[in-house]
């Protein structure tokens, strides 16, 4: 039986994708923190499962990748959709800026930690909600946004890091058949998980009026995940393929980010040894 793992699968677009894969006969593992939402999904049947995990922690991501790899030696679909908005800069228990930890580092750890299981599937695909080329440059001198933090900007910055994660991933695993799809879905009416200051909360209320339903967002991205897809890296903006121009999809930048992330994780491991 084909298997899909979906982080952020307890709500929003992730939850709708989880239901779509369930209806296609997949075993679907959704990952989130909310037991109530997780149990509600798992009630859909034997193939629907919930794994409780706080993905803002390094050890939790490593444990999750290990747990899944042991039970599912071949993984067909990995969706990376967990996010949480914070109006102020907050550090995780590991000492990382919270968006960097959840929106980027978790996706780095899970992409690489599950690459072995993915490579053993017939036509594996990773879907990562990145910026799809729509965000500004990487702040190389301030990657965890110590200066001038802004909640929405921090999510955009993480989107850019995820674009580069995709570029690096397909290069690193060039000898496998794993495809990587980066998606910016546009404004979608979801739970918009997070905490908001009054100004941003008012903006979110307006987005709830103009945003598209999750069903539309899922219909726009599913065709790019089909097993018939050939491209190793695809970027999609609201259902349209984005051209991978060298400027915004630079392999040198992607490798630089890979190395920087590796250094940060090595420092973390030394700190916590």
Query: DSSP secondary-structure letter at 104?
Result: I
Using the rule CB under 6 A, give the single segment among 138-146, 190-198, 234-242, 248-256 that binds ligand NAP. Answer: 190-198
User: Could you tell me if 97 and 201 are in contact, meaning their C-beta atoms sit under 8 angstroms apart?
Assistant: no
- Asked if 42 is part of the footprint of ligand NAP (rule: CB under 6 A), the reply reads no
Nearer to ligand NAP, 36 or 270 (CB): 36
Q: Based on the shown chain and the rule CB under 6 A, indicate whether residue 37 belongs to the binding site for ligand NAP.
A: yes
Judged by CB under 6 A, the residue of 190, 216, 234, 261 near ligand NAP is 190
157 sits near ligand NAP (criterion: CB under 6 A): no
Site for ligand NAP contains 14 (CB under 6 A): yes
Give the nearer residue to ligand NAP in terms of CB position, either 215 or 251. Answer: 215
Cα 268 to Cα 82: distance, rounded to the nearest angstrom: 22
C-beta nearest to ligand NAP: residue:
12
Torsion sign across C-alpha atoms 236, 170, 120, 50: negative
Tell me the C-alpha distance between 169 and 258, whole Å: 9
Q: Give the H or E element holding residue 199.
A: helix 198-210
Cβ-based nearer residue to ligand NAP, 62 or 120? 62
Element (H, E) at 37: helix 35-42
Nearer CB in complex with ligand NAP: 72/184: 184
**First vs last C-alpha separation in the chain:** 39
| Torsion (CA) 214, 124, 24, 33 in degrees, nearest 10 | -50
Determine the Cα angle at 36 with ends 31 and 41, to 5°.
55
Judged by CB under 6 A, the chain residues 92 through 111 that form the site for ligand NAP are 102
User: Quick check: 182 binds ligand NAP (CB under 6 A)?
Assistant: no
What number of other Cβ atoms are within 10 A of residue 216's Cβ?
18
* Stretch of residues binding ligand NAP (CB under 6 A), selected from 4-12, 136-144, 218-226, 254-262: 4-12
Nearer to ligand NAP, 152 or 266 (CB): 152
33 binds ligand NAP (CB under 6 A): yes
CB 180 within 8 A of CB 167: no
Interface with ligand NAP in residues 205-264 (CB under 6 A): 211
Instruction: Report angle CA 93, 197, 8 to the nearest 5 degrees.
Output: 55
* 213 phi-psi bin (left φ>0, alpha ψ -120 to 50, beta other): beta
Nearer to ligand NAP, 12 or 124 (CB): 12
Can residue 26 be called a binding residue for ligand NAP (CB under 6 A)? no
Nearest distance, CB of residue 30 and ligand NAP, angstroms:
8
Give the footprint of ligand NAP on this chain (CB under 6 A): 8, 10-14, 32-34, 37, 53-56, 81-84, 102, 129, 184-185, 187-188, 190-193, 211
């Amino acid at each position: 039986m084909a298997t899909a793992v979906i982080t952020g699968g307890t709500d929003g677009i992730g939850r709708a994708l989880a239901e779509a894969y369930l209806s296609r006969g997949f075993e679907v593992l959704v990952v989130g923190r909310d037991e109530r939402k997780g149990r509600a999904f798992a009630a859909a049947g034997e193939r629907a499962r919930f794994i409780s995990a706080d993905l803002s922690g390094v050890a939790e991501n490593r444990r999750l990748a290990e747990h899944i790899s042991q039970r599912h030696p071949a993984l067909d679909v990995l969706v990376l959709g967990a996010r949480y908005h914070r109006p102020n800069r907050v550090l995780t228990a590991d000492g990382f800026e919270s968006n960097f930890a959840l929106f980027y580092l978790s996706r780095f750890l899970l992409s690489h930690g599950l690459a072995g299981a993915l490579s053993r599937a017939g036509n594996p695909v990773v879907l990562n909600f990145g910026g799809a080329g729509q965000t500004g440059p990487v702040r190389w001198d301030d990657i965890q946004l110590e200066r001038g933090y802004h909640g929405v900007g921090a999510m955009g910055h993480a989107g850019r890091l995820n674009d580069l994660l995709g570029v690096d991933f397909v290069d690193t695993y060039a000898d496998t058949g794993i495809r990587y799809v980066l998606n910016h879905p546009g404004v979608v009416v979801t739970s918009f998980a997070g905490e908001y200051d009054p100004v941003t909360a008012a903006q979110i209320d307006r987005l709830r009026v103009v945003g598209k339903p999750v069903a539309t967002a899922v219909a726009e991205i599913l065709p790019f995940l089909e097993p018939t897809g050939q491209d190793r890296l695809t970027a999609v903006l609201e259902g349209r393929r984005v051209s991978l121009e060298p400027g915004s999809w630079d392999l040198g930048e992607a490798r630089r980010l890979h190395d920087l992330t590796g250094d940060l994780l090595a420092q973390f491991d030394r700190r916590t040894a």
